[in-house]
Amino acid sequence: MASLAHPGSQTRLFTKLSHQPKKFTPPSRIRMSLQENAPSLAVVGVTGAVGQEFLSVLSDRDFPYRSIKMLASKRSAGKQLTFQDRNYTIEELTEDSFDGVDIALFSAGGSISKHFGPVAVDKGAIVVDNSSAFRMEEGIPLVIPEVNPEAMEGIKVGMGKGALIANPNCSTIICLMAATPLHRHAKVQRMVVSTYQAASGAGAAAMEELELQTREVLEGKPPTCNIFKQQYAFNLFSHNAPILSNGYNEEEMKLVKETRKIWNDMNVKVTATCIRVPVMRAHAESINLQFQQPLDEDTAKDILKSTPGVVVIDDRASNHFPTPLEVSNKDNVAVGRIRRDLSQDGNKGLDIFVCGDQIRKGAALNAIQIAEMLL
């Protein structure tokens, strides 16, 4: 494909798309994904950080498809990319893009989803949307497959009509992958989340800007600030999402509202502080949990160890806990620093530290797991 995440490298994650096809080297095994009787796919926003990861995850998981449309803006129309040894021309997203499409994976921003999501549904496609456009709409499932698969029950390719399913916010997905198994055991009453969010959460251009700024600062030059209003390299700042009238920013309120919808619990108390840190890829979150029932450290560790999609990295002896680098390009969310909250009585509080690749489990992987449940 045209511009892919390179495992092992944090800084050179994206290369520019060109008019010449570039080669994506698939794993050395026989591909079964291109099949006559499989669904036809569309990837909307294919040139972006999440769009590129869609292609990577589709390939990694041998997702079956009979055709795939590569859609982006007019700016990218006509550019070439190679996916699973075939060349594709990127097409401009238009109202006609969804004729014959069964599953449309959207990651081109909220306004694009708001306009083209319903167009795709009208054409009979099932849209899995990565933006925040529909997450809180009543009747639209907001799904983390390991957490609430039942929310999308009955939605299948071939059911004769389109549908829309929303992918939660990346910080919410990473948080709830770790908090939900504990919630199921001891019921979370209150959750306090502090995030340390990577550049990749703001898209491909933000990653490029962090890389550029890092070089500029090291060379003693003033940093280029196009995506963010302030210096990002060697700095950190409050998340760039708009601040609301209650003083929270939109990213923080997504954690509050989406948790309630996903857990189907309007009473759970959630508060969050979201911070951008100069990490290229993968978010970290410190999570403080207050439970209704007692839950000790060892039981919490055992629960997390047996949770699909979660790994425990909690080596106190060598001070080794999850890091964004270790989870970059990985599917699993890593949990560590699992300890009793000394400020709460009766084993009813825990602190944990979580890292997850938010382009992968926080976006593309979660969406494709949803798409797998449509088959």
Ligand X SMILES: NC(=O)c1ccc[n+]([C@@H]2O[C@H](COP(=O)([O-])OP(=O)(O)OC[C@H]3O[C@@H](n4cnc5c(N)ncnc54)[C@H](OP(=O)(O)O)[C@@H]3O)[C@@H](O)[C@H]2O)c1
Number of residues that bind ligand X (CB under 6 A): 29
**Interacting span for ligand X (CB under 6 A) from 18-26, 109-117, 246-254, 297-305:** 109-117
Interacting positions 348-367 with ligand X (CB under 6 A): 358-359, 362-363
Binding flag, residue 16, ligand X (CB under 6 A): no
Residue 147: other Cβ atoms inside 10 A: 23
Binding flag, residue 164, ligand X (CB under 6 A): no
Binding flag, residue 75, ligand X (CB under 6 A): yes
Cβ(368)–Cβ(105) below 8 Å:
yes
Task: Kindly state the smallest distance separating residue 14's Cβ from ligand X, in Å.
Answer: 8
CA distance 211 to 197: 16
Task: Kindly state the smallest distance separating residue 289's Cβ from ligand X, in Å.
Answer: 24
Task: Kindly state the smallest distance separating residue 358's Cβ from ligand X, in Å.
Answer: 4
Task: Kindly state the smallest distance separating residue 45's Cβ from ligand X, in Å.
Answer: 3
Task: Give backbone dihedrals phi and psi of 89, rounded to 5 degrees, phi first.
Answer: -100, 130
**Interacting span for ligand X (CB under 6 A) from 30-38, 47-55, 246-254, 342-350:** 47-55
Identify the bridge partners of residue 352 per DSSP, sorted by sequence position.
287
Binding flag, residue 143, ligand X (CB under 6 A): no
Cα 299 to chain centroid distance, Å, stands at 28
Please tell me the total number of residues recorded for the chain in this structure: 375
CA distance 329 to 294: 35
Binding flag, residue 162, ligand X (CB under 6 A): no
**Interacting span for ligand X (CB under 6 A) from 196-204, 237-245, 254-262, 293-301:** 196-204
Residue carrying structure tokens 């939605």:
155
Binding flag, residue 45, ligand X (CB under 6 A): yes
Kindly tell me which residue out of 34, 136, 205, 241 binds ligand X, with binding defined by CB under 6 A: 205
**Interacting span for ligand X (CB under 6 A) from 1-9, 104-112, 298-306, 325-333:** 104-112
Residue carrying structure tokens 């019921």:
187
Q: How many CA atoms lie within 13 A of 290 on its CB side?
A: 12
Residue carrying structure tokens 């302030």:
230
The active-site residue, picked from 175, 183, 274, 283, is 283
Cβ(108)–Cβ(333) below 8 Å:
no
Catalytic residue at 185?
Answer: no
For the stretch 260-294, what's the b/e string if a residue is b when 16 or more beta carbons lie within 10 angstroms of its beta carbon?
bbbbeeeebebebbbebbbbbbbbbbebbbbbeee
Binding flag, residue 109, ligand X (CB under 6 A): yes
Residue carrying structure tokens 């949770």:
307
Nearer CB in complex with ligand X: 290/328 = 328
User: Which residues of this chain interact with ligand X, rule CB under 6 A?
Assistant: 45-51, 72-73, 75-76, 93, 107-110, 112, 130-131, 170, 200-201, 203-205, 358-359, 362-363
Q: Which residues are catalytic?
A: 170, 283
